[in-house]
Amino acid sequence: MFENLIEILKASPRKIVYTEGTDARILESAARLKKDGFLTPVLVGSPEAVKAAAAKGGFDIAGLEILDPNNYDRFDEMVRKMVELRKGKMTPEECADSLKKSNYFGTMLVKIGVADALLGGATYSTADTVRPALQLIKTKPGAHLVSSCFIMVRGDELLAMGDCAINIDYQDDVDKATGEVKFSAADKLAEVGVETAHTAKKFGIAPKVAFLSYSTKGSGKGTSVDLARDACEKCKVLVPEYDVDGEMQFDAAVSPTVGQLKFPGSKVAGYANTFIFPEIQSGNIGYKIAQRLGGFAAYGPILQGLNAPINDLSRGCNAEEVYQMSIITAALK
């Protein structure tokens, strides 16, 4: 998998900004990328502090850019840009205060084109990665929400699972004045299906998308069953080029015998490789079961729906995971 992504980066030189420039795991990854030469790291922090941390860990970062929010020649430009993007919701002083923080500063570096991608979250929460991205980078045309996908790898087997990290559940967006549903829960889950299928394809998976439930083809009843079924139908319309089906139980999705018994004639049932969960609880539990009991390596969460590649690290990550997520993030630009 990584060989293909590295070839993409060799053919298209890119920069990735790390928002936590003094973290040893970040520095180890940055030093390794510097040596490999196919992706250029940019480190956020005080140059003195970053260099001291690198020296302490024995990491060679000589020649890499280190950008300091407290001493950056384009900082005023950043403030003006953020005021413009926030459209009156923040004063220049509030924007300046935010941009002194590494997560906002790093995100703005992507916005103004200094870097192509961002990886953060080794020491702060997912919300602290997603919030600046939504405020500064925003969602891409046609997207209404940010979601996530995990790529699961076991030998030559690759699967995609979404959303397991961002959207707690799916509710209708209702116009307060008219009571009209502007964007339904099913629309949102369908969009997760679309984005996860696109991500899967970027990793060489020919998407067979299963909308998961405790019901297969109407065998069970309930609002979450309705959600999965309705979202599936909407997703089919949005991406007719992919095989999409549901609602279905997990055994029907992965076992040809069970799938064709419960869902005869489906191109997905029994052969699914891209799984869409009805809410975060089942998604998070599901990918971790595959990881811990099924022997799959989990890469992600890969954020979907943004105008630029920005990804979040687990605070429990190690340097190898930082390195791998750096390649994934930059290659998906």
The predicted-structure confidence for 198-215, as pLDDT tens digits, reads as follows 999 989 899 999 999 999
Give, rounded to a whole angstrom, the gap between the first and last alpha carbons of the chain: 16
| Per-residue pLDDT at 316 | 81
- Rounded Cα distance between 277 and 133, Å, is 24
Mean pLDDT, residues 153-175 taken together: 93
**Chain-wide mean pLDDT for the chain?**
93
In the chain, the amino acid numbered 133 is A
Mean pLDDT, residues 304-316 taken together: 90
Confidence of residue 333 (pLDDT cuts 50, 70, 90): confident
pLDDT > 70: what percent of the chain? 100
In the chain, the amino acid numbered 50 is V
| Per-residue pLDDT at 179 | 85
Between helix 24-36 and helix 47-57 the angle, nearest 10°, is: 80
Between helix 92-99 and helix 102-111 the angle, nearest 10°, is: 100
Q: Count CB atoms within 10 A of the CB of residue 167.
A: 21
| Per-residue pLDDT at 177 | 86
Higher pLDDT, 2 or 242: 242
Residue 149 pLDDT > 80, yes or no?
yes
Q: Domains plus CATH for the chain?
A: 1-138+306-333 (3.40.50.10950), 144-304 (3.40.50.10750)
Residue 23 pLDDT > 90, yes or no?
yes
- Phi/psi region, residue 160 (left: phi>0; alpha: psi -120 to 50; beta: rest), is beta
Residue 284 pLDDT > 80, yes or no?
yes
| Per-residue pLDDT at 164 | 94
Q: What is the pTM of this model?
A: 0.88
| Per-residue pLDDT at 293 | 96
Helix (H) or strand (E) holding 120: strand 117-120
pLDDT > 90: what percent of the chain? 82
Question: 202, exposed or middle or buried, with CB in 10 Å at 0-12, 13-18, 19+?
Answer: middle
In the chain, the amino acid numbered 14 is R
Confidence of residue 74 (pLDDT cuts 50, 70, 90): very high
- Rounded Cα distance between 221 and 232, Å, is 16
Locate 52 and state its tokens. Answer: 């001291």
Mean pLDDT, residues 267-292 taken together: 96
Confidence of residue 314 (pLDDT cuts 50, 70, 90): confident
Residue 170 pLDDT > 90, yes or no?
yes
Using one digit for the tens of pLDDT, what is the confidence trace for 117-133? 999 988 888 888 889 99
Residue 175 pLDDT > 90, yes or no?
no
Q: Taking CA 327 as the corner, what is the angle to CA 158 and CA 210, rounded to the nearest 5 degrees?
A: 30
Nearest to 18 by CA among 74, 70, 67: 67
| Per-residue pLDDT at 199 | 94
Task: Please list, in sequence order, all residues whose beta carbon lies within 8 angstroms of the beta carbon of residue 109, skipping any fewer than 6 positions away.
Answer: 17, 42, 44, 67, 115, 118
Mean pLDDT, residues 162-180 taken together: 90
| Per-residue pLDDT at 125 | 82
- Rounded Cα distance between 287 and 294, Å, is 9
Please report which residue ranges of 179-222 form alpha helices under DSSP H. 185-202
